[in-house]
Amino acid sequence: MASGEPFRLSVLEGVLERVTYANEETGYTVARVDTGRGGDLVTVVGALLGAHPGESLRMEGRWTSHPQYGRQFQVENYTTVLPATVQGIRRYLGSGLVKGVGPRLAEHIVNHFGAEALDIIEHTPERLMEVPKLGPKRTKIITEAWEEQKAIKEVMVFLQTVRVSTSLAVRIYKKYGDDAIRVVREEPYSLAADVWGIGFKTADAIAQAVGIPHDSPQRVKAGIQFTLSESTGDGHCYLPEETLISEAVKILQVDSALVIDCLAELVAEEGVVREKLPDRDGETVTGIYLLPFHRAETALANQLRALLNADQDRLGAFADVDWDRALSWLRSRTGAELAPEQEKAVKLALTSKVAVLTGGPGCGKSFTVSSIITLAAAKRAKIVLAAPTGRAAKRLTELTGHEASTVHRLLELKPGGDASYDRDNPLDCDLLVVDEASMLDLLLANKLAKAVPPGAHLLLVGDVDQLPSVGAGQVLRDLLAEGSPVPSVRLTQVFRQAAKSGVVTNAHRVNTGRPLLLEGMSDFFLFPCEDAEAAAELTVDVVARRIPRRFGLDPRRDVQVLTPMHRGPAGAGNLNALLQEALTPARPGAPERRVGGRVFRVGDKVVQIRNNYDKGANGVFNGTLGTVTAIDPVEQELTVLTDENEEVGYDFAELDELTHAYALTVHRSQGSEYPCVVVPMTTSAWMMLQRNLLYTAITRAKKLVVLVGSRRAIAQAVRSTAAGRRHTALDHRLGRWSQSASA
């Protein structure tokens, strides 16, 4: 080659036979292509975003040699070429690319129209009605799917330069429609706010590609809001101004003076809220809030004040009740005596309009709640019960004999997240009991409080020593803070029956920083193993073979692996892959769907990983568990039966909302109980090893706990109290009112 002559890319044409690996985040794909020249399939690697098996591709790139996998074609860019032969068209249509068309229907269409089939779908789709057994409904589905596919392809070709994944391109298109390319070009940072799965970093890469300067105020303001949004994922409702500025500088790599100027502009535009607050040392700190969190925190404090202060009392019958007589009647109904703490809690819940009941396992929270409900029901009170998760609601129903629902279903959340029940349309109840209240984040607690009618009683029940909510805030802890006007009772007495349980005993020992008791326990075991990879293999063996053999438990239904973190050999990601292979392996002829590096199969345990208000009757929420019951390659839909007994359909483009749930992080398990819990504890999760994490994991088990892993890691978790508190000001807002009320 003459010097200075540009390097020319090679061209490879062929039909994409199968995708062997695809990374949804980077778009990196390994696939096999049939070049039509006979012989072996060719391996191609690179960003084949949006390419589907069955498509004819024209690829530009370079031939390379891999030391392990041999000769490969490295794809730099590609275009889709519509097949011209009858056989190619039949294969293309039947590949699952066009929603509503499977292999059989593809054959009918191609048999009828021959080589003109694609042209007819493109230009005169109404003629599809000529195909036998193809009615107007199916024709409409095929036409819409074809148009959407074309539009998505356009968006994807445009996004190829910044390596945005297929599923994100689909989302961008569904959010903005024909306006997608304009928004991406002109307002890339709005993607981070509008499209789930696109964070600031992806939006920033797109912005860079379309020529937005590094120091653009548009970029810096978006970066500040991103920094605040990220902090809500760590549980913070606000960030101190200094912390925010230094974090934003790190992320944006710009001068701090520019961040300070853009922050001032954001405050003036009401894009964020600045407020002076007391910090934990009593000093004043300047807090910066995203608007929704400031509104929610202020509104929740005001609403709790209004409920506590209400003139009417919908349980007024208990204001002057003869408690000796009432408790004697209760004793005759239940056959059990209330402990003094439980008595106090019963009286409080029925006489105070807002109250909190907290306590650890075995302290009789459930019996206390049941007693409160029995007494309220005797006075014909309208009782409503709720919990943050489907499993917790189910448990509350079983415990009380009264129907309980999830908080989301109770409020009838609508698409977009607004509730049907609110201050203008409150719930019809005299007593609202919410279990597992430690899980209530600020936004949900605010929605719930708004729906309580004036004069009704709100009882929040939960274990404050568990991990705080996944979302921002620490509502239960703030309500129990010193100076809070909300009355509370903490149950501390462990009952004799519960004290015999290794699960209860060790939960309390962990909570008070004492080492575990393992000798002579029939429901609490440790399999010691220091190496993280060996611990992962042992965990799979314990779940799939040892527990079913010894205790007769079903490994998918009854056993839940809870791990401190997602990454690493003994993290949820790797364990899910290993457990799926052990419990739900691939079966010849059984449908499955690959999404990036994951494969979904019928029978898989799955969990929803974002709030989606548009799914199901009243939305499907972060942490909702379920089982895959069907995969339909033609309709491109996967069906999940949730733990609320609701069948929910997922389009294949939405499957990044689901992940496998054979192993969950402890954080994601909150509000759920399982017959058996298996907890891998390794030193590779050192930063996550904290007392409230191990305590939460143990208290998720009803009958049996098995720890697998390092004695050193367990000792570290027992010793280590949780790191610094979350930045919240609900306790301050409530305490301030309490002080002014008593003045």
Q: Enumerate the known binding-site residues for ATP.
A: 362-366
Q: Are 240 and 207 in contact (CB under 8 A)?
A: no
Q: How far apart are CA 43 and CA 32, in angstroms?
A: 5
Cα radius of gyration (the chain): 29
- What does the DSSP assignment read for 492-557? -PPPHHHHT-HHHHHHHHHHTTPPPP-TT-SSEEEEE--SHHHHHHHHHHIIIIIHHHHH---TTT
Q: How far apart are CA 171 and CA 183, in angstroms?
A: 13
Q: Are 400 and 370 in contact (CB under 8 A)?
A: yes
Q: How far apart are CA 28 and CA 597, in angstroms?
A: 11
Q: 């391109």: which residue's tokens? A: 169
Residue 338 identity: L
Q: Are 569 and 684 in contact (CB under 8 A)?
A: yes
Instruction: Look up residue 698 and give its two tokens.
Output: 């143990």
Tallying the residues shown for the chain, one arrives at 743
**CA geometry: angle 614, 646, 573, nearest 5 deg:** 80
509 burial via Cβ count (<10 Å: 0-12, 13-18, 19+): middle
Pairing type for strands 28-34 and 10-22 reads antiparallel
Q: How far apart are CA 535 and CA 532, in angstroms?
A: 5
Q: Are 122 and 138 in contact (CB under 8 A)?
A: no
Q: How far apart are CA 333 and CA 168, in angstroms?
A: 58
Q: Are 345 and 327 in contact (CB under 8 A)?
A: no
Q: How far apart are CA 459 and CA 345, in angstroms?
A: 10
Q: Are 433 and 383 in contact (CB under 8 A)?
A: yes
Q: How far apart are CA 467 and CA 373, in angstroms?
A: 27
Backbone angles phi, psi at 597, to 5 degrees: -90, 5
What single-letter DSSP state applies at residue 645?
S
Known binding positions: 362-366
Residue 332 identity: S
Q: How far apart are CA 295 and CA 307, in angstroms?
A: 18
